Amino acid sequence: MSNTDDIRWVTQVALLGDKNAFDKLTCKYQSPIRRFFLNLTAGDGPLSDDLAQETFIKAYLNITAFKGISGFSTWLYRIAYNVYYDSVRAHKKYADINEWEIDSQHQTQNEFSAEKMDIYRALRLLRKEEQTAVLLFYMEDKTHPEIAKIMNCPLGTVKTYILKGKEKLSLYLTNAGYGN
Amino acid sequence: METNDKLLKDFFSENKKEIADNGFSNRVMQNLPETADRSWIVWVFAAIGMAISIYFGLTSGLLEHAFSIFFKTVPYYYLIAGIACFPLLGTAGYYLSQNKSYAF
């Protein structure tokens, strides 16, 4: 399924309010968007599904704002990024609670827990912006300019986030015995 | 630096997994707010297009001419066979639309 399909489905949703076309878009992008949230929330499945659902509903409500300048995927990640940071800001007041402990409790309740502990531990070392940039670059195969659009920041800043994230992760992974 | 890059690429590709839908898309669809169905736009434009075509076809005499040639040259049993095809094609089309997984 190509970008042409995306444009066709978006047009059907925007002009005709065709929900079946939106269903096709949801089916196509549910996996990368949920994976993105799952990694950002350190494996919290229910929370990442809630955030993903909010992302798709916002995309549906604002689909006429999609101009097709960037790909639909990039536009959807931009919404996902905003949804995630809105959620982070909303829960800022609980910042004193040890997030890592809570996340670890959630991890024992979902199917990804054991095998993914390392990636969540590794991502935990990074700042939120670095986590996002690194995940988009290495996990979701986005280019630097696309990440700059998603995070709405200059290209140089994105490169710095990725570089710093890479340094921290490389050190962690080398110490953990990866790459030997 | 390239070693680090490869290390990270390998690490993330090992951890990159497709997530099964498991009803997620259905939940999203059920929670979408109701919006006006605008599919009537297609029918309005189709009707306008047909009306314009028929108007020019009639005023220019093109349709009349085409019909006279058609009925003179095409045998009547071809017409009967052609009309008889419609229910068959309609039934087949309906069947295929209701059974999306069906394949020849």
> Looking at beta carbons, which residues of chain B come within 8 Å of A119?
11-12, 15
* Number of Cβ pairs < 8 A linking chain A and chain B: 91
> Looking at beta carbons, which residues of chain B come within 8 Å of A170?
4, 7-8
Residues A29-69: tens digit of each pLDDT: 999 999 999 989 888 889 999 999 999 999 999 998 888 88
CA dist A44 → A22, A50, B67 (Å): 26, 10, 69
Tokens of B73: 């040259």
Mean pLDDT by 10 residues, chain B (104 residues): 77 86 91 79 89 90 85 81 85 75 44
Q: Where are the domains of chain A?
A: 1-115, 125-180
Architecture label for domain A125-180: Orthogonal Bundle (1.10)
Give the right CATH number for A1-115 from 1.10.1740.10, 3.30.565.10, 1.20.1250.20, 2.30.290.10. 1.10.1740.10
> Looking at beta carbons, which residues of chain A come within 8 Å of B16?
35, 139
Query: For residue A119, which of B17, B65, B59 has the smallest C-alpha distance?
Result: B17
ipTM: 0.76
With a CB cutoff of 8 Å and minimum separation 6, the contacts of B68 are none
Residues A124-171: tens digit of each pLDDT: 888 889 999 999 999 899 999 999 999 999 999 999 999 999 988 888
Mean pLDDT of chain B: 82
Query: For residue A149, which of A30, A67, A27, A42 has the smallest C-alpha distance?
Result: A67
CA dist B53 → A7, A123, B3, B56 (Å): 30, 63, 67, 5
